[in-house]
Each structure stands twice: as C-alpha cells, then as structure tokens.
Homo-oligomer: A and B are copies of this chain.
Amino acid sequence: MLSKDKKILIVGLGLIGGSYAQALKRKGYHVGAVSRSGDTIDYALQYGIIDAGTTTPTAEFVGAYDLLVFALYPHVFLQWITDYQQFIKPQALLTDVTGVKCSVVYEVQKILRPELEFVGAHPMAGREVYGIRNANCEIFKGANFIVTPTDANSEEAICEIEQLGQALGFARISRLSPERHDEMIGFLSQLTHCIAVALMTCKDVEHMSAYTGDSFRDLTRIAKINDEMWSELFLLNREELLSQIDLFQAKMDELKSAIATGDSEALRRMMRLSTERRTYFDK
C-alpha cells in the first residue's frame, strides 16, 4: 500500500487532477496542489479537496512533496519540468495522467534530473465535463489504470505508481510499454474520436435530429470534444493514429466495394466476423 506518510502534490487541478486530489485526501493523504488559477485553489481549499495550494511554484512549497502527479496538457507539463524541476526534492517520484505516452514519457525522462524518477501512467477515466467543479473521484470506479514503465524505471517506483492506482480506486491496474499503450489508445480511443468528429461534420443533420435513434447518438456522444486537448493528443500520437485510420479506411473501402458490386456474400462474411468479435466486449 502507498505509505500514508507520502506527501502528494497535484500539479494541474482540472477534472482529473481535482479528482485525484479528492480521492487521495479522502484516503487520508496530505495533498497539495499547484494551479495557474487562484480561483481553482480557493475552491479546492474551501471544499476540502486539498490541504494546501499555490499558484506560484516555489522551492519551499514544491520541495515538501514526495510524490508529484502532473495533470497538465502535455506541452505545459514539459515546460513545467524545464522551469521548476530544480525545486523538486531529491528522490521524489513523478507520474502523470497524459493520454499519450511515447512522446511524453521519453521526453520527460531525457530532461529530468538524474536523482528523480518519472513513471508514466494513464488513468482511463475521462468525461465530457471539465474543471475542478466537476472533480469526482467516483469516475475511477470500474476504470482502467495503465502504468507505462520504460527501461529507465526501477521496479520499486513502478510498484509505487501501481499502488497509487489502487489508492485512487481503479478497478484494474496494468502495465503496458509506452509503444503498446499508444497503439491501443490510437485505435480504441483516438480513432473512435476521429470517426465521431467526421460523422458529425460531414453532413448538416439538424433537420434529421427528430429521427435519430440510439445508435447514432451512441456513435457521436464523443463528438463533443475538448479541441485544445484532443488536437494536441492526436498530433503527439501522429504516426500511430494515422496507421489506425488507414486500417479502418481500408476496411470501409472493402465494405463500399462489396455494396457497389452487390457482393452480398462478402458483406455477410464481414457482418458475421463483426458480430463474433463484438462478443469480446460484452461486459
């Protein structure tokens, strides 16, 4: 179990950072926070989500923490490390919540002071709402927590981040290499968001909304998307996402060609495979 003596600093108090803080404070940990917004810090203090907070990272404040969780946009995270890592206590452990891994984990490990250790992690628990006011540690229940260690990591540090996932209340904690993580997320999450955005923008269907059934609603739920965050995540996983789009488009072409030529048997073969494979995902 993650030792109760660990003082934990959350850098970035959005939906995920705020929910981390709430979960950990309820478990009895001392939780501090850094946010650019004074209003966010005030709110988090007032509602007992954090024990201490600041808008200005100082050596005294940052240096008091043993475990640092970065819940920032990727480019902000890398800039923060560059600007403030000299304040971090020697032997402190760092982790993050970023939705892509290769382009973040290796970069941070490259620039980090050698006596610090960073283990990447991805809590798969997003929502279509934002900010500290929506923070809710219930979103971790039933969700996946993926730790993405590299050769630069010690087994001890990896275990500690897995224990963090347990303390947060995740249902399933697993390890994947940054590469396997990015392939998986490129297919299961980024490609599906691309599809939803393309479906929603390829035709103005306002006049059709009265006829819309559950399946169109389900497919486009994720078409409500934080453009700043997702455009950054897409571009940071560019090669992998392009490969996944190519795979999908090749299969759409195959379907289209079967429809155009009236090849009923080819259509039915694809539908049977699809039906069979979908059973993997029945809960």
Contact = CB atoms under 8 A, between A and B. Distances in A.
A199 interface: yes
A213 to B, nearest CB: 5
Given A194-B255, A270-B201, A274-B223, A281 B211 contact: no
B225 A281 contact: no
Report the interface size class on chain A.
35 or more
B146 A216 contact: no
A229 to B, nearest CB: 10
A1 interface: no
Interface stretch (A61-69, A83-91, A237-245): A237-245
A217 B270 CA distance: 18
A177 interface: no
B242 A256 contact: yes
B197 A195 contact: no
Contacts of A82: none
A236 to B, nearest CB: 10
A99 to B, nearest CB: 11
